[in-house]
Amino acid sequence: MKTRTIGGLAVSALGLGCMSMSSAYGPPADKQEMIKLIRAAFDRGVTFFDTAEAYGPFANEELVGEALQPIRDHVVIGTKFGFDIDQKTGARTGGTNSRPEHIRLVAENSLRRLKTDVIDIFYQHRVDPAVPIEDVAGVLKELIAEGKLRHYGLSEPGVATLRRAHAIHPVAAVQNEYSLFYRGAEAEMLPTVEELGIGFVPFSPLGAGFLTGKIDENTKFDETDFRNHVPRFSSEARKANMALVDVVKNVAERKGATPAQVALAWLLAQKPWIVPIPGTTKLHRVEENLGAADLELTAADLAEIDVMASKIEIKGERLPEAALKMTGL
């Protein structure tokens, strides 16, 4: 597996997003099977694993911690804080909480759940409008000095917020949504992280599964699947947005690849400091996704994708209104 660098950390060119193993895409998968999957991903070259206290809550960190404990020194773990979650019960208010004392408490609990003495990248999951980002970066800087964190990052911040945080202590990575299905990062965020020397970790690099070509307007999601509440995944929007999938499929057929591999290879081709974190609960999907690291898209391929995609107007917002309001974008 090829490697890339984020915040001085060498990681596999493709990471593994672990959220779907415990939440968001339907009922949690079997824990022991997911432990096997995570270790199988490592055996195939994956060294970058992404989780968060909010996934479960807590269950995903516990899963990742148990799975990676035997190989902890050989992997990079990113996790997140920032939601108002009761650290004893897991109860959530639905709001944000980045008060310095809460960040410290979450850090200690995440360290315990992850069975480690240091977190490689600790992301603020969403910007807290009630707490100045300087205060957040300040306590993270202290935790780094104390040896509890190696680096910190921000998820879905605005450019101004990112600059303010970076001025207090260098930000290692920004984790925002980015794919052919949502390209909002291109206008301001990607030029900014390039200027500042910050890594970029796209979540939902396959458009929450849409770019795999396995979803159409007739697909039924489990009642607990978050996509039921996403405007972009309404039946009408999916039908209209299939035009983008067709673009990816056409390139995939010519390259002898799958649509997912083309979508991931397109991301990898954008910048050398981009590390996507596709998630899955199936080993054959892990293997398929990793094939993207060896798929070379030529300049002509990339130009074709951009020209064809630019003619398509994506229908529907990428998140429900309440979730959009919690981003800094």
- Residue in 25, 55, 152, 182 annotated catalytic: 55
Backbone torsions φ then ψ of 114, nearest 5 degrees: -85, 0
Active site residue 55: yes
At 48, is the secondary structure helix, strand, or coil? strand
Q: What sign does the CA torsion over 234, 181, 34, 323 have?
A: negative
At 20, is the secondary structure helix, strand, or coil? helix
Distance CA 140, CA 137 (A): 5
As beta bridge partners, residue 149 has: 119
Buried b / exposed e along 177-214 (16+ C-beta atoms within 10 A):
bbbbbbbebeeebbebbeeeebbbbbbbbbbbbbbbbe
152 within 8 A of 121, measured Cβ to Cβ: yes
Whether the ω angle into residue 57 lies within 30 degrees of 0, i.e. cis, is yes
State the amino acid at position 267 in one-letter form.
Answer: L
Taking the CB of residue 44, how many other CB atoms lie within 10 A of it?
A: 14
Tokens 């974190």 correspond to what residue?
A: 277
State the catalytic residues.
55
